[in-house]
Amino acid sequence: MKSDKDIKQVHVKGVYMIETLGRHSPAILLEDNVGLLMPIYIGHPEAFSINAVLKNETMPRPMTHDLVVSMLTRLGVEIEMVLIDDNIDNIYYARLLLKKDGSIMEFDARPSDCIALALRNGAPIMIRDKVLRGAVIEKEKLVGARVINGFV
């Protein structure tokens, strides 16, 4: 992994419907400690899953991310962190870092899946500074964005 000084922690501000190219799409808004905002556009199922955990909503049956967290827990595996580390052709790349018996394992995964898992376990969501700065959105561009309040 590159030096830790080019990596910073971000938090999920929420899941929003943001207008882009004439249509509304779900997006996770990530925010750093100085208020820089970055959207990651995601699919509806991932938006549903992330929003459910943000709103402390419990589904009658486990969702896929809940199942994965249950399996990891039973296998004695911890989610160490998520690292969003690249953006190539407007596609974000992330790694899920898992820890078992002191060893770290890295898995390539979609940022939305990584974030859904991290939120369920309270694991940190990290991002390379160059990725964040390359995707920062001004708050004025979010006028008209609608927060997703809940699905249940």
Cβ neighbour number for residue 110 with a 10 Å cutoff:
17
Q: Does the 4-147 domain belong in CATH 2.130.10.30?
A: no
83 phi, psi to nearest 5 deg: -130, 115
User: By CB neighbour count within 10 A (0-12 exposed, 13-18 middle, 19+ buried), where does 95 fall?
Assistant: buried
- The alpha-carbon radius of gyration of the chain (Å, integer) is 15
| 87 Cβ contact partners less than 8 Å away, ≥ 6 residues apart | 93, 131, 134, 135
**pLDDT tens figures, 40-90:** 999 999 999 999 999 998 888 888 999 999 999 999 999 999 999 999 998
**pLDDT tens figures, 7-48:** 999 999 999 988 777 788 899 999 999 999 999 999 999 999
Structure pTM?
A: 0.89
Mean residue pLDDT across the chain:
90
